[in-house]
Structure 1
Amino acid sequence: MDKLQPFLQAMEEGNVEKITTLLEPFLLQENPDAQYELADIFSQYGYLQEALKILEHLEFLFPEENQLKIDQAQLLLEMDKEDEALDLLTSVDKSAEAYPQALLTLADYYQMIGLYEVAEQKINEAIALIPNEPLLLYAKGELLFETGRYLEAARIMEELLPVQETIPAVDLSLKLAEIYSAGAAYEEAIPYYTEALKKEVAPDVLFHAAYASFQVQHYSTAINHLENLLGMDPDYFSAYMLLAEANAMLENNEEALKAIEDGIARDEFEKEYYLFAGKISLKLGRVKEAEKFLREAIALDPEYMDAIFTLTSLLSKEEQDEDMIELYETLKKDQFEWSSMYPFLASAYERLEIYEKAYEFYKLAYTELKEDAQFLEKYFYFLLEDGKREEAMGVVALLQKLDPENSTWFEMSE
């Protein structure tokens, strides 16, 4: 390592010129093992051109070493020199010991560019040569996972569990949890998340374990995972919404509101937090707080339909008719108009006894709500009160079709 120290120092300094100066005598004087080690270090630090130069030098010395061709090909792929890389990989003889690795590298390349069938063919060819090689089986499992064949991928990964240690830097329990979750098999994923958390308690693992638990209605478990996660990383923003939802499912509405308010304190520009806070405040009977949250959601996104509809419903229920009209006029100024507001506006103007405007919005709503019996009933009585009997007849005819068992509508038409 002492011989490599000047290179490490030059890389830390980012001094490419110094590296080039050091490299020439190093290739002439040092043994091949040290040179290969330096190529690996260059590759790790991102000095791909320098690593490639060493490997080319070594291949000149040892032309029969196919591993050097594969190493070069991997670097060339990173450097977007696919043609040169493919030439090297396809030049590896089928009888060579390194041929399965060349096939695996080709499979990685084809998988990367989306040619999954070709990638699978290459992996299958390699497995035929070395049937029980864990790394090849793992590569096939990853490919199946990426292409959405979750059950096949899970079967392979489960078969590999007894030889977990032969696949470096891979936690097969976590991989299986991810595969089952991706296939919406959350019940099957949970034991693997539990196993993975025994090895390492990491924020991402806690979140996904919580999400899987939430999906199978294990809300208390989800809450426990999320509280642990936020204790580790208070800026894991997506955890706040899931924690709030899990508490809401258990009717822990105060805790749900606190969780989402904590989320807002961390990320004040997330409109979904404000919408959820508005809805949970309504469940708690805190109408003014709910209105405030909903208005903040709309301020962040003036076309946020869910928030607009929730606020509109709130204002209508509370008969805050002038506020309702003001909301509509504000949205209209921003070039946003939504027909779902029309029936609420019609009722608001009717309560305010501004009948001309009420009639205008009833008519606008009528074009889309001809199969909504509740709306048609309100519209019918409005038309009767306003003396528009002929139009009322048209509405009552629709009510007769929608609710033929209700004799009221037949009596009204007579």
Structure 2
Amino acid sequence: MEKMIPFIRVMEDGDIEKLDGMVDAFLLEENPDEQYGLADLLTEYGFIQEAIKTLENLNFLFPEEDQLKIDLAQLFLELNKEDDALEMLSNIEKNSESYPQALLTLADYYQMIGLYEVAEHKIEEAIALLPGEPLLQYAKGELLFETGRYLEAARLMEDLLASKSELQGVDLSLKIAEIYSAGAAYEEAIPYYTEALQKEAAPEVLFQAGYAFFQVRQYETAAKHLNHLLEIDPDFFSGYMLLAETYAMLEKNEEALSAITDGIARDEFEKEYYLFAGKISLKLGRVKEAEGFLQEAIALDPEYMDAIYILSSLFSQEEMDEELIDLYETLKQEQFEMSSMYPLLATAYERLEMYEKAYEFYKLAYTEHKEDAAFLEKYLYFLLEDGKREEAREIISILQELQPENSEWFDMME
């Protein structure tokens, strides 16, 4: 290890020229085992070209060592030198002990370029040679997972779990949970998340488990996991939104608002936090507080349609007509139009007795709301009040089609 310390220092400094000279000298002076160790170190630090140089030297010295060819092929693939990689692997004979690993490397390559059937064929060929090899079974499971064959992948991983809990540092319980979750089989995923959490309550696992419990409507357990998550990692930002949503489903709106405001305190630039806080504030009847949150969301994204619509609806419902018109004018200055505001603006101008502007927005809204009976009824009475009888007839005709059981429209037409 002491011989590697100078290399580590040079790599951390990023001095490529000096590193090249040191590697050349090392290859002349040190034994093959030391050289192989250097190749591992260079790969670990991301100096792939230098690692290839080291392995090529060893391959020249020991052309019969197929493991060196596999190592080189894997590094060539990292550099997108597919032809060089395939040439290396093609030099490995079928009777070689390393042939199954070569097949697995080929499978990784074909999987990477999207040729999943070819990749699966290579893995199956390797499994036929080494039927009891867990790494090959795991590789097949990962391929099935990536191609959306979740149930097959989970079953295969469960077979592996029966004999061992980890494989090359991978927690198989957690892997099975992730596979089931990817296939939306959250009920099946939960026992495996629970098993994984018994080993280590890692933040990401707590979040995934919380999400799974949320999906199966076990909100109390979801909240427990998410609170634990935020205790150990207060900067796990997505946890705040999920926790707030969980409390909202439990109708614990005060706790939901508290959770999302904690999230805002951690990440004041997340517009979705403000939108959710605005919605919850409205549920709690805190209109001014809701307005403030929604204004913040729009300040972060002037074209945030969800926040704009909810704030517009709030202004309309509270008959804050001037505020609604100001919001529209501000958006218009930003060259942003939102047609869902037109019916609300028509009502606002009508209440302010600005009938020409009201008529303008009723006409604009009419284009996209010809099947909205509630809007058409309001528009109809506005037209009748304004003496626009011919236009009113058109609206009545549409209402007759939409609500043929309502005799009022037929009586009105007569």
Q: Counterparts of 1:283-298 in structure 2 under 5 Å?
A: 283-298=283-298
CA distance in 1, matches of 2:378, 2:48: 74
Instruction: State the 1:209 CA deviation.
Output: 0.9
Give deviations 1:39-66, integer Å, cap 9, x for gaps. Answer: 2222222233333233223223322211
Structure 1 pair 373–100 and aligned structure 2 pair: CA distance change class (3 A): same
Instruction: State the 1:6 CA deviation.
Output: 4.5
Instruction: State the 1:265 CA deviation.
Output: 1.2
CA distance in 1, matches of 2:89, 2:19: 29
Q: Counterparts of 1:152-231 in structure 2 under 5 Å?
A: 152-164=152-164, 167-231=167-231
Q: Give 1:262's aligned amino acid.
A: D
CA distance in 1, matches of 2:138, 2:319: 63
CA distance in 1, matches of 2:23, 2:380: 90
The corresponding residue for 1:129 is: 129
Structure 1 pair 130–351 and aligned structure 2 pair: CA distance change class (3 A): same
Instruction: State the 1:405 CA deviation.
Output: 1.8
CA distance in 2, matches of 1:270, 1:25: 53
Q: Would you say 1:108 and 2:85 are equivalent positions?
A: no
> How many residues are matched?
414
CA RMSD of aligned residues (A): 1.8
Structure 1 pair 412–20 and aligned structure 2 pair: CA distance change class (3 A): closer
The corresponding residue for 1:246 is: 246
Q: Is the 8 A contact 1:27 1:35 kept in 2?
A: yes
Give deviations 1:211-268, integer Å, cap 9, x for gaps. Answer: 1111111111111111111111111111111111000110110111111111111111
The residue matched to 2:162 in structure 1 has which SS? helix
The corresponding residue for 1:276 is: 276
The residue matched to 2:51 in structure 1 has which SS? helix
CA distance in 2, matches of 1:200, 1:303: 42
Structure 1 pair 95–398 and aligned structure 2 pair: CA distance change class (3 A): same
Q: Would you say 1:232 and 2:263 are equivalent positions?
A: no
Structure 1 pair 300–28 and aligned structure 2 pair: CA distance change class (3 A): closer
CA distance in 2, matches of 1:240, 1:302: 24
CA distance in 1, matches of 2:217, 2:166: 36
Q: Is the 8 A contact 1:164 1:171 kept in 2?
A: no
The corresponding residue for 2:411 is: 411
Q: Give 1:117's aligned amino acid.
A: E
CA distance in 2, matches of 1:5, 1:319: 73
The residue matched to 1:163 in structure 2 has which SS? coil
Give TM-score scaled by structure 1 length: 0.95
CA distance in 2, matches of 1:12, 1:380: 75
Give deviations 1:274-306, integer Å, cap 9, x for gaps. Answer: 111111000000001111111111111121111
- Kindly report structure 1 stretches of 4+ aligned residues shifted beyond 6 Å: none
Structure 2: runs of 5+ lacking an equivalent: none
The corresponding residue for 2:325 is: 325
Q: Is the 8 A contact 2:165 2:171 kept in 1?
A: no
Q: Is the 8 A contact 1:281 1:287 kept in 2?
A: yes
Give TM-score scaled by structure 2 length: 0.95
Give deviations 1:52-105, integer Å, cap 9, x for gaps. Answer: 233223223322211111111112222332211110011101111100100111
Give deviations 1:327-357, integer Å, cap 9, x for gaps. Answer: 1111111111111111111111111111111
Instruction: State the 1:36 CA deviation.
Output: 2.1
The corresponding residue for 1:91 is: 91
The corresponding residue for 1:347 is: 347
Structure 1 pair 303–12 and aligned structure 2 pair: CA distance change class (3 A): closer
Percent identity (aligned): 73
Q: Give 2:70's aligned amino acid.
A: I
Structure 1 pair 67–388 and aligned structure 2 pair: CA distance change class (3 A): same
CA distance in 1, matches of 2:180, 2:94: 36
The corresponding residue for 2:119 is: 119
CA distance in 2, matches of 1:278, 1:210: 24
Structure 1 pair 19–346 and aligned structure 2 pair: CA distance change class (3 A): closer
Name which of structure 1's ranges 339-348 and 2-11 shifts more when overlaid on structure 2. Answer: 2-11
Name which of structure 1's ranges 391-400 and 233-242 shifts more when overlaid on structure 2. Answer: 391-400
Q: Is the 8 A contact 2:166 2:172 kept in 1?
A: no
Q: Would you say 1:361 and 2:361 are equivalent positions?
A: yes
Q: Give 1:333's aligned amino acid.
A: Q
